[in-house]
Amino acid sequence: MNNNIWLHRISHHAPVSYPLLDKNYITIGFSDFIYDDFITKVLSAGEGWKPKWDVLDAAFEEQWGTKPRIRHNLWRFIEGFKKGDWVVVPKTGTFSVYEIIDDLPDYITKIDSKDIIDWDGNRHYFKNERLYNESHVFIDLGFFRRVKPLELNVSRYDFADSQLTSRLKFRSTNANITDLKDNVIKAVGAYRLNKPISIHSNVKETFANSFLDILKQELNPDKFELLVKWYFERIGASEAYIPPKNSVDKTGDVDVIAVFELLKVIICCQVKFHEGKTDDWAVSQILDYQSKSQEKNMEEESSLDDDYSRVNWVISTSETFSEKAVNAAKEEKVQLFNGKRFVEMLIDAGILSLDKAFN
């Protein structure tokens, strides 16, 4: 998207402005300047912005006898807003995003008065190019832009990040917020996918790889097994332990066993601490262990009843698994977790007490 993004606050005569917005008209005040084809005089004053600005500046001096800061709001509305630009309209707790579809601004008098109805259903009429309600109260709306809605009533809480949230509180009528283009596009995209901003998801996405690098640098195979054991305890295992490495009865290989008593599930986990790719040997080891342990009722499982379901995992710090490993795991229903996936699981489980894994 190469167009600008604008913030435009619909607060001036809101009971009329918002119903007009529902009909795809964004409005602003300054009715005093609907005269002598003001828009054409400004926009055709010359090349570049300076001659145009000078015409608008002089008009305020002539009409109001002063040059208030709010004249910048009309300037942006007339000269700044362009076809294809996005306009973000804040509202309490939400914001909506529109796209400008007209080539030029126009006067409020070009809207049929029959289409101008306020929140209470009251109609309006024009007199001397001024808008009045049925009680003959002057409604200071002077100009409008035609727009089409892109997304309506987007929750600030769920979809606006801190920068966009801060800018939505800006009290001026309008402002160029193109510097937050990425923030707005991200918010609209997340809203369309119904994926609210999540610190948890952002932490996983941002820090998973760095976290894995730290684990590889700081741990060794034995400590990595302790970390896996801690993970199982963290997610609710009633018992998690590392079988003796010097067991004479040990056939095949399993590094960590986790028992989930309430679920009647035992997870037997082969743990690999290395770089690169994990081959199918890890799958073969744990399957061989499972098969032989059932036959011999190995000591570390002697107290477990036969009605437990056995689940086989392989957790590795490697980036990937070999094709043979993937195929074997799929065939034998062994769950494979590479380094990044396991780090995400650790984050999901909570990392505040991570150091307790090694105590």
Residue 297: pLDDT above 70?
no
Residue 21: pLDDT above 80?
yes
Q: How far apart are CA 306 and CA 340, in angstroms?
A: 34
> Within 13 Å of residue 171, how many CA atoms lie on the same side as its CB?
0
Identify residue 318 by its one-letter amino acid code: S
Taken as a whole, the chain contains a residue count of 359
What angle is formed at CA 166 by the lines to CA 84 and CA 75, rounded to 5 degrees? Answer: 45
| pLDDT tens digits for range 166-180 | 999 998 999 999 999
pTM, full prediction? 0.63
pLDDT-derived band at 200 (thresholds 50, 70, 90) equals low
pLDDT-derived band at 36 (thresholds 50, 70, 90) equals confident
CATH architecture, range 200-358: 3-Layer(aba) Sandwich (3.40)
Is-contact 26 89, C-beta < 8 A?
yes
Average confidence (pLDDT) over 185-212: 84
Q: Looking at residue 351, what is its pLDDT? A: 66
Contacts of 160 (CB under 8 A, 6+ apart): 95, 154, 168, 183, 187, 197
Q: Looking at residue 298, what is its pLDDT? A: 47
| pLDDT tens digits for range 319-357 | 999 999 999 999 999 999 999 999 989 888 876 666 667
Q: How far apart are CA 190 and CA 194, in angstroms?
A: 6
Q: Which of 181-190, 246-255, 307-316 has the lowest mean pLDDT?
A: 246-255
Contacts of 336 (CB under 8 A, 6+ apart): 278, 283, 313, 314, 316, 321, 325, 326, 329
Average confidence (pLDDT) over 6-15: 91
Percent of the chain with pLDDT over 70: 91
| Cα 117 to Cα 123, 124, 129, 135, distances in angstroms | 5, 7, 17, 13
| pLDDT tens digits for range 99-110 | 999 999 999 999
Sequence spans of domains, the chain:
5-197, 200-358
| pLDDT tens digits for range 109-127 | 999 999 999 999 999 999 9
Q: What is the DSSP letter of 117?
A: B
Q: Looking at residue 64, what is its pLDDT? A: 96
Q: Looking at residue 248, what is its pLDDT? A: 44
Q: Which of 114-123, 187-196, 264-273, 295-304 has the lowest mean pLDDT?
A: 295-304
Q: How far apart are CA 300 and CA 152, in angstroms?
A: 60
Burial of residue 266 (number of CB atoms within 10 Å: 0-12, 13-18, 19+): buried
Q: Looking at residue 35, what is its pLDDT? A: 84
Residue 299: pLDDT above 60?
no
* Other Cβ atoms closer than 10 A to 345: 16
Q: Looking at residue 352, what is its pLDDT? A: 60
Of residues 159 and 245, the one with the higher pLDDT is 159
Average confidence (pLDDT) over 233-256: 80
Could you tell me which of 158, 287, 317 has the C-alpha nearest to residue 223?
317
Is-contact 96 89, C-beta < 8 A?
yes
Q: How far apart are CA 58 and CA 33, in angstroms?
A: 12
| pLDDT tens digits for range 38-80 | 999 999 999 999 999 999 999 999 999 999 999 999 999 999 9
| SS3 state at 101 | coil
Instruction: Bin 316: left if φ > 0, else alpha if -120 < ψ < 50, else beta.
Output: beta
Q: How far apart are CA 17 and CA 152, in angstroms?
A: 16
